[in-house]
Amino acid sequence: MTSGENRDPSLPSPQSQKQALRGPQVRSGFQKKRYLFTTDHKMIGRQYFFLSLAAVLVGAWLSLLMRIHIVWPKAALPFLGEIKPENYLAYLTMHGTLMVFFVLSTVPQNGFGTFFLPLQLGASEMAFPRLSLFGFWTALLSFLVLLAAFFVPGGPSGAGWTQYPPLSALAVAGPGQALGTDLWLVSIGLFCVATIMSAINFVTTTIKQRAPGMAMMRMPLTCWTWFVTAILSLLAFSVLTAAVVMLLLDRNAGTNFFVPGGLLVSGQTVAHSGGSPLLWQHLFWFFGHPEVYIAILPAMGVTSHLLSTFARKPVFGYRAMVGATLAIGALGFMVWGHHMFASGMDPHAGFAFSALTTAIAVPSAVKTFNWVGTLYGGRIRYTTPLLFSVGFVSLFITGGLTGPLLAQPALDVYLHDTYFVVAHFHLIMAMAGLFAVFAATYFWFPKMFGRMMNERLGRIHFWITLLGAYATFMPMHLLGIAGHPRRYSELTGVQYVAAMLPLQKLITAAAIVTLSGQLIFLANLFWSMLRGPAAKANPWECTSLEWTLASPAPHDGFAGRQPLVNHGPYEYLPGAGQEKDFLAQDAPAT
């Protein structure tokens, strides 16, 4: 009789015991591969999305602390106590850094772009899948290094998100200017590397991974803006990388790129000579103004895409929109000097930068008129994504109207260091960009997570956010015209500024209401991920290729098949009486 015949049948077999022991390890390995080491562009896109969500929560919390401190400077907050002026400047620096780099530069491009660019081109993966993996983990490391500055002696840097020398170049310049500033520079250096890797991937994917029939002029406008943004990122972040390395060397290796000679700090002569703080400004803003379009061009692409989808009309002037995108990208590198009108710039150079800044308004106006043309006469479906897209157009126009004013050196010298500029860039870049992010989230949520978000909560979220944005930032124009300086942590030290306290209280109240409204979005987001109604493959009846797949998008994308593209990206059929009023891009040719 064999040992097998003597075995108690109620006990598991040795083979099943081995499988049971191996099963959790296999599942654990699968989860690690799926979530930690995945090269699936869809999962990496989701990871970028949640990275930006974490960054925006921290950044919004810091903005709330700043607003509270401005109107109640002596208030003792739980766990924080009284916010000191140096704390305020540190919060200001970290808020700007998180919002500009880890939110506005990340989620529109690397979040939604990584997820949807291949699918809209008819590909199942990015050109370099491992580069996507390395790019995300480098960006995450950058984020963690930045947050680590909160926990080092002296705290985070207080030199602002622009890190102007000599304040940022000298560890003895103040609290946070030692290890906190080194961590800021290392973080941004890592972020530059991550962005450059991602940009290489985007450019190559757009050129090499298009499906048969997907000519450049058949690409959705989202793909065009992701493509142009990637080119801008390659050029702009390369310059910032060099500037960050140079500033780190000034701080730690005794070089003299940015620190002038004869500088006194606390009565002591600084051991540097021959550096130029203006060199940093040129390098930073050569990155910094294209950065505005790195943040806003993907938002423009999403807006164009959504307005056409929900107006049930082709995009008005598709070729003009492509041309305007290319023109904005090219002119974006020619206007950095308008950030430096107050630096003593030569008037001839100032005139050139002023003229070019005014010129860049032309392609932006082309896009604005074409958005209005797309909506005009359409069979509009008033969904939440459409509302946020219209909100983007509204905020972009409102913020953009003050751009030509700041493009005039004579006006900018007065307004540059006031709340007028804070209002301008928060409306046209921050709030407009975030409205496009909200629009994209509500629109692509079914394809990313396989469920629908709640429309009623979405509309409540839209109206609170739109009205709150205008109530928060429009009064700042009045503060700026009255000469209220930005970056001041308190109003009590200057008599004419203290008189503006009632307006600051109104702004703070509006900001608190607006931030509270975002709790509705968070509840809707996470509830819908778990309990939202299952989404159809194409709930919006959209034409682009990602909507030919199941919801959520399958792991293997198009499963080895290549779609054949026979139509343009926005072929919506006239007449409301038809059962199907659109042609998908891979529909058979007629």
DSSP annotation of 34: I
pTM, to two decimals:
0.93
Q: Is the dihedral of CA 142, 143, 147, 148 positive or negative?
A: negative
**Distance in angstroms (rounded) separating the CA atoms of residues 68 and 49:** 29
- Supply 149's token pair: 């500055």
Angstrom distances, CA of residue 333 to CA of 11, 330, 378, 566: 73, 6, 36, 36
Give Cα 308 to chain centroid, integer Å: 23
Mean pLDDT, to the nearest integer, of 433-454?
98
Per the DSSP assignment, residues forming a β-bridge with 413 are none
**Rg of the Cα trace of the chain?**
26
* pLDDT per residue as tens digits for the range 274-326: 899 999 999 999 999 999 999 999 999 999 999 999 999 999 999 999 999 99
Give Cα 256 to chain centroid, integer Å: 33
SS3 160: coil
* pLDDT per residue as tens digits for the range 5-54: 444 444 444 444 444 434 444 455 556 666 778 999 999 999 999 999 99
DSSP annotation of 102: I
40-258+273-548: which CATH topology?
Answer: Cytochrome C Oxidase; Chain A (1.20.210)
Residue 216 pLDDT > 80: yes
Range with the lowest mean pLDDT among 179-183, 260-264, 406-410, 449-453?
Answer: 260-264
Q: Which helix (H) or strand (E) holds 196?
A: helix 179-208
* pLDDT value at residue 13: 44
**Distance in angstroms (rounded) separating the CA atoms of residues 390 and 385:** 9
Mean pLDDT, to the nearest integer, of 226-247?
97
Confidence of residue 1 (pLDDT cuts 50, 70, 90): very low
Greatest Cα-to-Cα distance within the chain, rounded to the nearest angstrom: 103
The fraction of the chain above a pLDDT of 90, given in percent, is 83
**Distance in angstroms (rounded) separating the CA atoms of residues 590 and 587:** 9
| Residue 518 near residue 460, CB atoms below 8 Å | no
* pLDDT per residue as tens digits for the range 122-176: 999 999 999 999 999 999 999 999 999 999 999 999 999 999 999 999 998 888 8
* pLDDT value at residue 30: 54
- Supply 142's token pair: 């950058």
| Residue 427 near residue 399, CB atoms below 8 Å | yes
Residue 416 pLDDT > 60: yes
Residue 89 pLDDT > 70: yes
* pLDDT value at residue 28: 53
What are the residue boundaries of the structural domains of the chain, listed by start?
40-258+273-548
Confidence of residue 265 (pLDDT cuts 50, 70, 90): confident
Residue 576 pLDDT > 60: no
Mean pLDDT, to the nearest integer, of 188-195?
98
**33 Cβ contact partners less than 8 Å away, ≥ 6 residues apart:** none
Residue 479 pLDDT > 90: yes
* pLDDT value at residue 494: 83
* pLDDT per residue as tens digits for the range 529-574: 999 999 999 999 999 999 999 999 999 999 878 899 999 999 998 8
Please report where in the chains the tokens 């299952």 appear, as a residue.
534
- How many residues are given for the chain? 590
* pLDDT value at residue 272: 80
**508 Cβ contact partners less than 8 Å away, ≥ 6 residues apart:** 67, 68, 70, 71
483 backbone φψ class: left, alpha, beta (φ>0; ψ -120 to 50): left
**Distance in angstroms (rounded) separating the CA atoms of residues 432 and 391:** 8
Range with the lowest mean pLDDT among 224-233, 263-272, 448-457?
Answer: 263-272
453 backbone φψ class: left, alpha, beta (φ>0; ψ -120 to 50): beta
**Distance in angstroms (rounded) separating the CA atoms of residues 321 and 300:** 10
**433 Cβ contact partners less than 8 Å away, ≥ 6 residues apart:** 104, 108, 295, 296, 299
- Among residues 260, 187, 201, the alpha carbon closest in space to that of 234 is found at 201
**Distance in angstroms (rounded) separating the CA atoms of residues 125 and 141:** 24
**28 Cβ contact partners less than 8 Å away, ≥ 6 residues apart:** none
For all residues of the chain together, what is the average pLDDT? 92
Per the DSSP assignment, residues forming a β-bridge with 268 are 265
* pLDDT value at residue 268: 80
